[in-house]
Amino acid sequence: MVNSSNTSLNKLNAYKECNYQSKRIQLTSPLLHIGAADSELTPFDYVQTDKQIYFPNQDALLAVLSQQNNLKKLKKYINLVKQYLSQRDDFQQKDNRRKILALLRQTFGERWFEAEYQVANTEGNLIFPIFSHKKTDQEIKDLRPMIRNAFGELYIPGTSIKGAIRTAIVFYILKNEAEYNLPTSVRVSEVEQKLRERLKNNISKKEAKRIANSNSLFMNNLFTNFKLSYEARVFGKPYTANTDFMRAIKITDSQPLVNNKDINLPIVAEVISSSFYPNGDNRIAKESATNFVEMVWNLQTEFTLTIDTEMLSQFQHEQGMQLPRKLWTVEGILEICQEFAQAQWEHEQRYWNLIKDNPNDDKLKFNPIRKFYNKDCSYNLRLGWGSGMTGTTIGLHFQESTRERIRNACATKPTNSSESPKSRRTAIIPTQTSQTKKPLGWVKLTPVEAEC
């Protein structure tokens, strides 16, 4: 007698072997920031010293300060943070920070950052369980945190990776539009013309962003205008999530980013947004904004990419568009990503080689950035905050004037420059002898081994 459970398991394994390709992918990056749900933290949410940024367990900190013998300290702590928020002068801010640290030392001792609290017969838990290395001498007031999981561990969400791959796939299909039999309505020239027409009118910033995202123009047609056909039966209604062919491509969250010496080092550093102003035939760098951002230096982690090749083969486009055969293999998808990365890389090379350093500001001297780009591209993708307009859209397929219209329609302040996107984000990292500058978001994807 045949064991039915074993038979079912054997069938499942045989199906996986024939219809799935799954591989672990190593993800590395020089510097990366993926934003958290709260885009900015206030001094209520962190405590800074000269060398570290500590993120307290808020409930635990307030619970300890709310104890009967600490009520005066709680009131003082809240008042100090409120004062800190209202102050603009750097000296006043530093003085107020010293008072906050003095209060923590008074409450928890000199090594206040190692203070613990007890919960229902469990071992002690740290009140300040998480910290990042502070890589700036400046006083940090508004901080952009990196995303963390429920355990407080840094990681890369699978949705972030998949979103970037989706954009790369669109870029690739539009680049080879004749080969894949794209309908006329979603070819680059037609999409660009529709965008230009819609952006002619005076519209709200929200409406401009909706148009710039272009889902109604071509994304839905490229991804969801399909039907699923299996054994002579048709399933699914076009333009729904069920008929999105990216259902067949699954990407897990990355492993937690465990810090080991200089690998996966969490840092907080200054990130400047720079653009330029014309000076004769030259473009002179100028600063347009600054942020303090939590990032990961020398990132190394892994995630799993799985392709349901059987499901992918069942998608039939309503207007006859063909899907690239590269989508059926992990290596093919990485090649698609690399082509998109190469286009961005070449655009960045041209941009930075045309920008002249500002002689009046050391922040605006960009030789390290030029050296970074003046070599062959070794990356497959660009992720997260700082990847900019060229990394999150297919704008490099459009004319410069079209990109300018999109940028000005979506930007808070329109600019007169025809260069688009005009600004770049650059992290400034002090070293023992000077400082270095790095762009954000470049990642390399390397297959490690097959899962099945």
Per-residue pLDDT tens digits for 24-38? 999 999 999 999 878
Do 28 and 446 meet the contact criterion of CB atoms below 8 Å apart? yes
What are the C-alpha distances in Å from 428 to residues 137, 271, 272, 330?
A: 11, 6, 8, 35
The pTM is what?
0.88
Do 336 and 326 meet the contact criterion of CB atoms below 8 Å apart? yes
Assess whether pLDDT exceeds 80 at residue 360: yes
* Distance in angstroms (rounded) separating the CA atoms of residues 312 and 213: 25
Q: Mean pLDDT, to the nearest integer, of 339-355?
A: 95
Range name among 74-88, 132-146, 295-309, 314-328 with the lowest pLDDT average = 74-88
- The phi, psi pair for 58, rounded to 5°, reads -60, -45
Among 231, 226, 232, 229, CA closest to 245: 226
Burial of 184 (0-12, 13-18, 19+ CB in 10 A): exposed
Which amino acid does the sequence have at 300? Q
Higher pLDDT, 189 or 52: 52
Identify the pLDDT of residue 4.
53
* Distance in angstroms (rounded) separating the CA atoms of residues 133 and 37: 21
What are the C-alpha distances in Å from 402 to residues 75, 94, 206, 410?
A: 55, 46, 18, 12
Q: How confident is the model at residue 211 (pLDDT cuts 50, 70, 90)?
A: low
Do 445 and 381 meet the contact criterion of CB atoms below 8 Å apart? yes
Query: How do residues 10-24 score in pLDDT, each as one tens digit?
Result: 544 554 556 889 999
Q: Mean pLDDT, to the nearest integer, of 177-182?
A: 89
Do 34 and 440 meet the contact criterion of CB atoms below 8 Å apart? no
Do 403 and 421 meet the contact criterion of CB atoms below 8 Å apart? yes
Q: What percent of the chain has pLDDT over 70?
A: 87
Query: How do residues 105-158 score in pLDDT, each as one tens digit?
Result: 988 889 999 998 876 555 668 999 999 999 998 888 789 999 999 888 999 999
Q: How confident is the model at residue 216 (pLDDT cuts 50, 70, 90)?
A: low
Q: How confident is the model at residue 103 (pLDDT cuts 50, 70, 90)?
A: confident
* Distance in angstroms (rounded) separating the CA atoms of residues 336 and 409: 30
In SS3 terms, 27-96 reads as EEEEEECCECCCCCECCCCCEECCCEEEECCHHHHHHHHCCHHHHHHHHHHHHHHHHHHHCCCHHHHHHH
Q: How confident is the model at residue 347 (pLDDT cuts 50, 70, 90)?
A: very high
Mean pLDDT of the chain: 85
Assess whether pLDDT exceeds 60 at residue 167: yes
Tokens of 64: 């300890």
* Distance in angstroms (rounded) separating the CA atoms of residues 195 and 218: 11
Q: Mean pLDDT, to the nearest integer, of 86-102?
A: 77
Assess whether pLDDT exceeds 70 at residue 292: yes
Torsion sign across C-alpha atoms 410, 411, 413, 418: negative
* Distance in angstroms (rounded) separating the CA atoms of residues 298 and 185: 43
Q: How confident is the model at residue 411 (pLDDT cuts 50, 70, 90)?
A: low
Identify the pLDDT of residue 12.
47
Element (H, E) at 349: helix 330-354
Q: What percent of the chain has pLDDT over 90?
A: 46
Q: How confident is the model at residue 248 (pLDDT cuts 50, 70, 90)?
A: very high
Q: Mean pLDDT, to the nearest integer, of 425-450?
A: 89
Identify the pLDDT of residue 162.
96
Assess whether pLDDT exceeds 80 at residue 372: yes
Among 137, 232, 156, 217, CA closest to 182: 217
Q: Mean pLDDT, to the nearest integer, of 269-274?
A: 95
Assess whether pLDDT exceeds 50 at residue 203: yes
Q: How confident is the model at residue 215 (pLDDT cuts 50, 70, 90)?
A: very low
3-state helix, strand, coil in the chain (%, to 5): 40, 25, 35
